[in-house]
Structure 1
Amino acid sequence: MGNIESFSTLPLQSIIPSYLYKQYSDDEDLQAFVDAFNSITQGYLTWYNQTPLGLYTSPNVTGPLLDWIGNGVYGIPRPVLSTQTSSTIAGYNTAPYNTVPYNGLSHSSSGTAEIASDDIYKRVMTWNLYRGDGQVFNMGWLKNRVNRFLNGANGSDYTVLDSPPSITVSGNVFTITSFQDANFTSLQECLNNGALAFPFQYTFSFVNIGFFNDGGVLWMTAPLNYPTSPAGLSAGSVWYNGGAVSVVPGVTPDPAAPPVFFGTITASGLLALGGGNLPLTNPGSTGQLWNNGGVISIA
């Protein structure tokens, strides 16, 4: 008896088409109906073949379908990314005098809240469902998950040894240091709101590494994954020069290259892009980055 199921055997790719009985085959209207029926049926089959419902990272799994799979198959609801805090003062002797009316009630809240995008939702699911790191919590487990969340678009796997985050621990507090961008902000919100599985005994603090304008020179608060020496780097690479961000010489900028602006480019984005195509003279466009003798400056 052969195997009932085999991953080496593709599922049925084409439907068994419907057809007209011989005596009706010369009726154009009936034939058009059957052709339309077969086309719709083939569309359903093709969709199911291309959309395995358990594979939430599929580009075909989005929106309400992703919610249905996340909740129905894996039991993980779409998270809310919230920075809201609230406080309630009610009853006698719960607040200093002259802050609320005597024996009154005061409720206040501040911050923002929004539903996570499909991309972040899938990253949350991968954090909670990934089994390759094992089930024992340790520093490697945490670094892999943080790196995968920050870099694995739409919950995809990521080579976690590339550009690992900086994580230190003191007592029961883990400090995560990473480049400041939208993904790192989402990671912080998901951890703070309990959307990501993590031992309850520990807490987090976060350090954002980003750019700032120091009198027209592009500076970074810390090197993190930036090289700290130009030795061995290819022409056009960027490196951390004691705080300033510098470019390895040797590339003639492409005049057709799109401009890069301070406040838009992230530290991780510039590291990946390089500085070889930055203009060699001040472009005169406010906020645009340029290569000022090897040091990246801000117009």
Structure 2
Amino acid sequence: MPMQQIIPSYLYRQYSDDVNLRAFVDAYNSLSQGYLSWFTSTPLALYTSPNITGPLLDWIARGIYGIPRPVLSSSTTSRVAGYDAYAYNTMPYNGQKISSSGSAALASDDIYKRVMTWNLYRGDGKVFTIGWLKNRINRFLNGVNGTDWPVQNNPPSITVSGNIFSITVFSTPEAQALQQLFANNELAVPFQYVYQFVNVNLINNGGILQMTLPLNFPTSPDGLVPGALWYNGGVISVIPGVTPNPSAPPVFFSQTLTPQELLTLGGGNLPLTNPGDGTLQLWNDAGVISIA
């Protein structure tokens, strides 16, 4: 176990009555203890620590692991040059035009740490399989700040056709970041395959909450407990039998509400009557989740 307390400095007895020297020694001991406590609580190699952030995270990731902070970019660049590459009277001869569109931003500390865990995690082995890819994706999507995650819980759906891997995931900010990282070749995956994503979204269809694909939602009410949600041919339904808690916080349909969050919340505490048109609050309309 690392040392928790410094060996303090002290004054010789003949100087112990000097208040200035005593203050100096006390300040020195306090600073030394602060340094020791910081190093003890901040193991530099453990990048998932909440104390490793910002420039310190960059320094550790580059210096120890050789991984720079990735850029999340949706930008595209086009270059027009060369004879017969463009219509007449649009550019001068021997000219060149470069145009860019989209956006680019440095990844947050959270996404940066998830990238590091993807590239550094050894528990899945070194052989690329569908299971390996599922584990990596599930850990990235759910492991906050790069922490580990029980990858058997709600794994993504992956299908293969030739050298194309189609990955179906719930649409979340983390999933969007993952897709940009794949597009920018920031993640360690075999380069000879093509990876394409299918995003599962919640949809407001005339006041009825629907979802594009079932993914991890149950597709049958059999065996589900009261209040659980299930995918009823595109409509999100609730198993009856729960009296809503009137003090439960309301749930609203919004761009930030993800299918996984809704599945975790369940529908038992959704109100059984319309809470007010135009509020976008979710409610249980005789077993069907509706949007006010």
1:291 to 277, 284, 289: 284
d(CA) in 2 for partners of 1:270, 1:251: 17
CA-to-partner distance for each residue in 1:106-135, whole Å, 9 max, x for gaps?
Answer: 111111111000110000000000111111
d(CA) in 2 for partners of 1:11, 1:211: 50
d(CA) in 2 for partners of 1:28, 1:83: 63
d(CA) in 2 for partners of 1:164, 1:78: 26
- SS of the equivalent of 2:168 reads strand
CA-to-partner distance for each residue in 1:54-101, whole Å, 9 max, x for gaps?
Answer: 111111111101000100000000000001000111233322324434
| Alignment partner, residue 161 of structure 1 | 152
| Alignment partner, residue 272 of structure 1 | 264
Alignment of structure 1 residues 94-173 onto 2, 5 Å = 94-173=85-164
1:79 to 53, 66, 70: 70
2:181 to 190, 203, 218: 190
- SS of the equivalent of 2:269 reads coil
- SS of the equivalent of 1:141 reads helix
Unaligned runs of 5+ in 1: 1-9
| Alignment partner, residue 7 of structure 1 | none
d(CA) in 2 for partners of 1:55, 1:257: 38
Q: CA deviation at 1:256?
A: 2.2
Alignment partner of 1:65 is 2:38: no
- SS of the equivalent of 1:224 reads coil
1:243 to 231, 234, 242: 234
Q: CA deviation at 1:32?
A: 1.6
Alignment partner of 1:42 is 2:15: no
d(CA) in 1 for partners of 2:232, 2:3: 59
Q: CA deviation at 1:257?
A: 1.9
| Alignment partner, residue 18 of structure 2 | 27
Q: CA deviation at 1:279?
A: 1.2
Q: CA deviation at 1:184?
A: 0.6
Runs of 4+ in 1 over 4 A off after TM superposition: none
d(CA) in 1 for partners of 2:228, 2:91: 59
| Alignment partner, residue 210 of structure 1 | 201
Q: CA deviation at 1:104?
A: 2.7
Alignment of structure 1 residues 251-266 onto 2, 5 Å = 251-263=242-254, 264-266=256-258
TM (norm. structure 1) is 0.94
Q: CA deviation at 1:150?
A: 0.7
- SS of the equivalent of 2:263 reads helix
Unaligned runs of 5+ in 2: none
State the percentage of identical aligned residues.
67
d(CA) in 1 for partners of 2:63, 2:100: 32
Q: CA deviation at 1:12?
A: 1.0
**Which AA in structure 1 matches 2:238?**
V
Q: CA deviation at 1:26?
A: 1.4
**Which AA in structure 1 matches 2:288?**
V
